[in-house]
């Protein structure tokens, strides 16, 4: 059974929206450039997250070599990038990124304690913000761009901020990856094959020629585990193919994930090469 273009488009949009929420909520590595102040100097040692009120928050230590971290006056126009790598050990894969243009306003020291008491932020971000020399600021923007192997999709910031689901979060991601890693290689390969064969739950996002190292030839890697599904990369016969396999309904907790993965494996087995 094949999915329609409209169904695939909606599924991939929901996937990208979920990625945007996860990245802004703290996944990945954030950096910013104050392009009016020092366009060639990147502030990369940041912690970031979203507050209970939907603010995009960044924290850092002041650094005289990075003017944006020392700024005390008006809001700064900034570009913010959040880049996330795949949860893999054998290879390094850039999974996705979020980009935005906005204004950064550092909080005055006398406002920090009150803001933190209401923001419900990640403890690591709070620790950095309240360390000696630490700062915390709010980035305001109207739009974010999600960039991954499926392409680039724009979202209104409010659409991302109003979502309250960001499974798996940064602390849950590797546990989710471990669940997927418990599958035998043949079952992972079966998921990738089914997606490439027009299975209604899967779609191939990218196919490119790849001069693969011998030790990864024939392997299937995890690009991402998301509440909406699995993103897998298969490397075979000089090609790297990225596939997305959607769950029949979103996963919002770790105890649901094993069941959803099992359902996908069972359904895909009817389309695997062994059954053809």
Give the mean model confidence (pLDDT) for residues 36-48.
Answer: 95
Question: Using 50, 70 and 90 to split pLDDT, how confident is the model at 2?
Answer: very low
- The model carries a pTM of 0.91
Give the largest CA-CA distance in the chain.
Answer: 68
Q: Is the pLDDT of residue 272 over 90?
A: no
Q: Is the pLDDT of residue 79 over 90?
A: yes
For the chain, the domains span 5-161, 173-275
SS3 sequence, 33-91?
Answer: ECCCCCCCCEECCCEEEECCCCCEEEEEECCCCCHHHHCCCCCEEEEEEEEEECCCCCC
Q: Is the pLDDT of residue 7 over 60?
A: yes
Question: Using 50, 70 and 90 to split pLDDT, how confident is the model at 211?
Answer: low
CA distance 139 to 100: 10
Tell me, yes or no, if the two domains 5-161 and 173-275 fold the same way: no
Q: Is the pLDDT of residue 273 over 80?
A: no
Domain 173-275 indexed as CATH 3.20.180: yes
Pick the CATH number of 5-161 from 2.160.20.10, 3.40.50.720, 2.30.110.10, 1.10.645.10: 2.30.110.10
pLDDT at 212: 65
Q: Is the pLDDT of residue 50 over 90?
A: yes
Residue range 108-142, pLDDT digits in tens: 999 999 999 999 999 999 999 999 999 999 999 99
Residue range 165-204, pLDDT digits in tens: 789 988 899 999 999 999 999 999 999 999 999 898 999 9
Q: Is the pLDDT of residue 147 over 90?
A: yes
Chain centroid offset of residue 8 CA: 19
């Amino acid at each position: 059974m094949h999915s329609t273009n409209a169904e695939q488009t909606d599924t991939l949009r929901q996937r990208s929206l979920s990625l945007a929420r996860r990245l802004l909520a703290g996944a990945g590595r954030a950096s910013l450039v104050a392009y009016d102040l020092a366009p060639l100097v990147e502030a990369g040692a940041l912690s970031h997250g979203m507050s209970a009120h939907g603010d995009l928050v960044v924290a850092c230590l002041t650094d005289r070599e990075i003017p944006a971290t020392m700024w005390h006056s008006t809001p700064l126009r900034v570009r913010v990038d959040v880049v996330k790598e795949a949860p893999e050990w054998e290879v390094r894969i850039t999974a996705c990124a979020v980009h935005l243009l906005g204004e950064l306003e550092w909080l005055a020291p006398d406002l920090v304690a009150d803001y933190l008491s209401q923001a419900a932020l990640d403890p690591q971000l709070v620790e950095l913000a309240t360390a000696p020399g630490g700062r915390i600021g709010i980035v305001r923007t109207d739009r974010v761009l999600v960039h991954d192997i499926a392409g680039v999709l724009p979202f209104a910031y409010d659409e991302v901020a109003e979502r309250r689901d960001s499974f798996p979060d940064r602390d849950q991601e590797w546990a989710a990856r471990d669940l997927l890693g418990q599958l035998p290689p043949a079952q992972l390969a079966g998921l990738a094959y089914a997606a490439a064969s027009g299975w209604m739950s899967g779609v191939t996002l990218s196919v490119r020629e790849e001069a693969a190292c011998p030790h990864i030839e024939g392997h299937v890697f995890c690009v991402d585990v998301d509440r909406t599904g699995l993103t897998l990369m298969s490397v075979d016969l000089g090609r790297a193919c990225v596939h997305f396999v959607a769950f029949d309904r979103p996963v919002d907790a770790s105890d649901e994930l094993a069941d959803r993965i099992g359902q996908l494996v069972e359904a895909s087995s009817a389309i695997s090469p062994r059954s053809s």
